[in-house]
């Protein structure tokens, strides 16, 4: 039974770390008296599904008072290892170059379900002053 708790506990710690990094990055932006800018990222094929996901992201960002970057980023198909996803890599680079303060995706599985990869992404983005955000589950509120 303890083996099933360890992964859940690690996932919870990573979720808390992501939230801490996000809060820190947003506080830095607001100290400079400017709006938070996010780069939308979706894992969806071109067409209606991708458009719908980008619309959800835009609505969430607007409700949070965030600006959505003019560029959006996407990968198609099943979630591949992060190194094999040019869209996600480009979104991270775009934000790290200062064009956005964060990357906003629908949910964590669009990024990775692997905790080790997720931890590396969080640290990489944090080291560049960039946060990773997800749309809340239906029971959660806006940021």
Question: Which tens digits make up the pLDDT trace of 67-126?
Answer: 999 999 999 977 778 888 999 999 999 999 999 999 999 999 999 989 999 999 999 999
The whole domain housing 9 covers 2-134
Q: CA 11 → CA 1, 5, 53, 83, distances in Å?
A: 16, 10, 24, 21
What pLDDT digit, counting tens, does each position of 47-71 carry?
Answer: 999 999 999 999 999 999 999 999 9
Q: CA 142 → CA 34, 37, 94, 139, distances in Å?
A: 19, 16, 24, 10
Residue 62, in any domain of the structure: yes
Residue 9, in any domain of the structure: yes
Residue 19, in any domain of the structure: yes
Residue 139, in any domain of the structure: no
Are the CB atoms for 63 and 135 separated by under 8 Å? Answer: no
pTM: 0.89
Q: Which of 56, 45, 44, 38 is nearest to 104 (CA)?
A: 38
- Axis-axis angle for helices 2-31, 115-127 (nearest 10): 20
Residue 123, in any domain of the structure: yes
Q: Which two tokens stand for residue 118?
A: 């997720």
Residue 140, in any domain of the structure: no
Residue 142, in any domain of the structure: no
Per DSSP, helices labelled H in the chain are 2-31, 48-64, 86-96, 115-127
Number of structural domains found in the chain:
1
What CATH number corresponds to the domain at position 87?
Answer: 3.40.50.1390
Residue 51, in any domain of the structure: yes
Say what the pLDDT of residue 5 is: 53
- Beta bridge partner(s), residue 42: 74
């Amino acid at each position: 039974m303890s083996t099933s708790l360890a992964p859940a506990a690690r996932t919870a710690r990573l979720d808390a770390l992501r939230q801490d990094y996000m809060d820190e990055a947003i506080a830095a932006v607001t100290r400079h008296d400017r709006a938070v800018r996010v780069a939308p990222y979706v894992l969806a094929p071109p067409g209606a599904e991708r458009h719908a996901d980008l619309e959800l992201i835009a609505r969430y960002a607007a409700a949070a008072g965030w600006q959505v970057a003019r560029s959006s980023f996407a990968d198609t198909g099943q979630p591949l290892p992060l190194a094999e996803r040019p869209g996600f890599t480009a979104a991270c680079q775009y934000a790290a170059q200062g064009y956005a303060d964060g990357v906003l995706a629908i949910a964590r599985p669009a990024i990775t379900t692997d905790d080790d990869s997720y931890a590396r992404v969080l640290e990489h983005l944090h080291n560049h002053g960039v946060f990773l955000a997800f749309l809340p589950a239906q029971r959660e509120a806006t940021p």
